[in-house]
Amino acid sequence: MRRYTPKDNVQKKAKYTDRFYVAPSVPREEIEEGSFFESVVNKLKDSGVELLDTYVELGQLVMKIKPEDNVKALTELKENSCFKQCSELSAVDYLAQDGEFEVFYQLLNLDKALRARVITRIKENQAIETVENIYKMANFAEREMFDMFGIYVNNHSYLKRILMPDDWVGHPLLKTYPLQGDEHAAWYEVDKIFGKEYRDVIGPELRDPARIDRYDTQRFARVGHEVPFGADPSTIDETEVKIEDRYSKTFATDYTTGSKELENRR
């Protein structure tokens, strides 16, 4: 029977996991009373943003909000809690498990040198509002998120692929994206510039670097033979000029049956 591979996550997985292995978790701490993080959370609650979860993970505050609230929450955090910079913004693909993406906004308060993360979950095919008007870095970061995950960002000034070519098919960081390039990817440039018919002229890709094609008259001349450049391969046996291969010949001496040379040396 063929081995089952899940179609919703084609990424590499551990070859072997112990049956009884339970992965430990990074501790999620409660927010300390009277800390700066508590005031941040309180201010956010007062402004009417619903917080689904709050905890401190590895010294950084994590707040889970609803996707509709992202602009409101980030505006509030920037204006009143002094998170002046958004370091990073992107998504994590949880489509296989929950059918959702997790979008995260990694924020920095420069005065207190503290970092917070706002996370939100959106469904597949659900768009999210842009935060470009709050943090201009979102202009590039949201374009990258769209390019890599296919998440649409509403009201973005220029939502277009950024790293991949405009006419690329698929979004590379999805867990369903194949690790090996498919036929479309392999012939991308050829199809675009010369058209599909030209695939036959080029032929399949050869990945063996040591391969020498005897009838190749354009790329590699064969050692010891000369063929006019670009000669018709069918006429190769008639046209080739045989040259004595002086440089590649190895001169073997048979040492077992006592050669004269050896005796002389002794």
Chain positions contacting other proteins, by CB under 8 A: 11-16, 21, 23-26, 57-58, 60, 62, 84-88, 90, 92-93, 104, 106, 110, 113, 115, 117, 135-137, 139-141, 144, 148, 161-166, 172-173, 177, 179, 192-195
Residues 6 or more apart whose Cβ sits within 8 Å of residue 212: 220, 222
Task: Report yes or no: 95 and 8 within 8 Å, Cβ to Cβ.
Answer: yes
d(CA 150, CA 236) in angstroms, rounded, equals: 53
Residue closer to other proteins by CB (options 164, 231) is: 164
What is the layout of strands, in order, in the sheet containing 28-29? 28-29, 51-57, 60-65, 114-123, 100-109, 85-94
Is 102 or 216 the residue whose CB approaches other proteins more closely? 102
Q: Is 212 left (phi over 0), alpha (psi -120 to 50) or beta?
A: beta
- Residue type (1 letter), 185: A
Q: How far is the CB of 25 from other proteins (least distance, A)?
A: 4
Least distance from other proteins to the Cβ atom of residue 15, Å: 7
User: Least distance in Å: CB of 62 to other proteins?
Assistant: 8
**Closer residue to other proteins, CB minimum distance, 167 or 208:** 167
Q: Which is nearer to other proteins, 124 or 144 (CB)?
A: 144
Minimum CB separation of residue 45 from other proteins in Å reads 23
Nearest residue (CB) to other proteins, 9 versus 47 = 9
Which residue in the block uniquely carries the two structure tokens 């440089």?
247
